[in-house]
A = this chain, B = another copy of it.
Amino acid sequence: MAITKVKEFNTKERKIAEICKALAHPARIAIINFLIKQRECICSDVVNELPLSQSTVSQHLKELKNVGLIKGDIDGPRVCYCIDQEKWDEAGKIINLFLSQETIQAGKPC
């Protein structure tokens, strides 16, 4: 079977998972780090930086764009990519809120 059950979970849970999913591949982490360092760059810059083909890099960029963490502005024949400040900050807040939950256990430790 394996019919996806993602929709059976609530919005908050899905949102957190969605952001994490976008960050669940080292190539996409590397792309984001590169984008932060360079402030902005075109797809071919990323291709030169990573050990991946142009089409693969393009796909990873698309995924990051789909969740909104980055944006790409068309600049002639190129596309200028950069972090989407607002969405990035929002994602950071959501994930941080989740990860910084207090987990102290009273009574016996597990």
B29 touches A24 (CB 8 A): no
CA distance A83 to B102 in the complex (A): 10
- In the complex, the chain B residue whose C-beta lies closest to that of A108 is B40
A interface list, Cβ under 8 A from B:
5-6, 8-10, 13-14, 16-17, 20-21, 23-30, 33, 36, 39-40, 51-52, 71, 73, 80-83, 85, 88, 91-92, 95-96, 98-107, 109-110
- In the complex, the chain B residue whose C-beta lies closest to that of A37 is B101
A13-B36 contact, Cβ under 8 Å, with A20-B24, A80-B110, A83-B103: no
Provide the residues of chain B in CB contact with A73, threshold 8 Å: 110
CA distance A36 to B38 in the complex (A): 39
